[in-house]
Chains A and B, each alone.
Chain A
Amino acid sequence: QKEVEQNSGPLSVPEGAIASLNCTYSDRGSQSFFWYRQYSGKSPELIMFIYSNGDKEDGRFTAQLNKASQYVSLLIRDSQPSDSATYLCAVIEGQGAQKLVFGQGTRLTINP
């Protein structure tokens, strides 16, 4: 069964530190990888997309993809209390597909 796995947390990080969120996926044919942030009571907000091996940086966020290890991560530098949310990893599996398969999400708390 195709799966996307995340540590559900909660993950607690002090303000200003680096928060590291991890995700593994089972389908080697997966092509596109997304990180969403979801605040309580809100819909998911796209923060990062990556499809090539290596790192992709956008402001304080860095996504890392390792297709050989079937692993994608999200680093948040200089964590702020406003980063406290649930972070969802999502994968598009297979060539030509467009539907997302989500992990269970990691709840992140940034402590002032």
Chain B
Amino acid sequence: SAVISQKPSRDICQRGTSLTIQCQVDSQVTMMFWYRQQPGQSLTLIATANQGSEATYESGFVIDKFPISRPNLTFSTLTVSNMSPEDSSIYLCSVGGAETQYFGPGTRLLVL
């Protein structure tokens, strides 16, 4: 299985600011996924990031709010922009395909 790391592991931010979350994988992968898990809720896909192309966003998520970079096959970033308390969640990246999908440890974000 892939080893996935995320930075930061947690952060407390002020409303109106932005936070960039990094996801690093120990092997080259075609697709990386970014999920959000709001308090007490299940996981919701934000976007799919392919290297060399624009990320594909799910309904309810827009690039201006959650810009994503995918500069190479082992790394991606997700930025949470102009944050509000409603953005307080765990943000997770994952990798895999139709038979296996593994998650990073997550980034716990609290917006005050």
Interface, chain A (partner B; CB < 8 A): 31-32, 34, 42-46, 49, 51, 88, 90, 92, 97-105
Q: Per-residue 0/1 for B17-60: is the Cβ within 8 Å of any A Cβ (1 yes, 0 no)?
A: 00000000000000101000000011111001000000000100
Contacts of B100 in A (CB 8 A): 46, 49
What interface size band does chain B fall in?
20 to 34
Determine which of B1, B42, B45, B92 lies in contact with A99 in the assembled complex, contact meaning CB atoms within 8 Å: B45
27 CB-based A-B contacts, threshold 8 Å: A42-B106, A43-B90, A43-B92, A43-B104, A43-B105, A43-B106, A44-B43, A44-B103, A45-B103, A46-B1, A46-B100, A49-B99, A88-B42, A92-B98, A98-B31, A98-B48, A98-B97, A98-B98, A99-B33, A99-B48, A100-B33, A100-B43, A100-B45, A101-B45, A102-B42, A104-B41, A104-B42
B102 within 8 A of A: yes
Q: What's the minimum C-beta distance from A23 to chain B, rounded to whole angstroms? A: 12
Q: What's the minimum C-beta distance from B59 to chain A, rounded to whole angstroms? A: 10
Q: Which residue of A lies closest to B44 (CB)?
A: A102
B82 within 8 A of A: no
Contacts of B102 in A (CB 8 A): 46
B96 within 8 A of A: yes
Whether the Cβ atoms of A31 and B103 lie closer than 8 Å is no
Whether the Cβ atoms of A34 and B42 lie closer than 8 Å is no
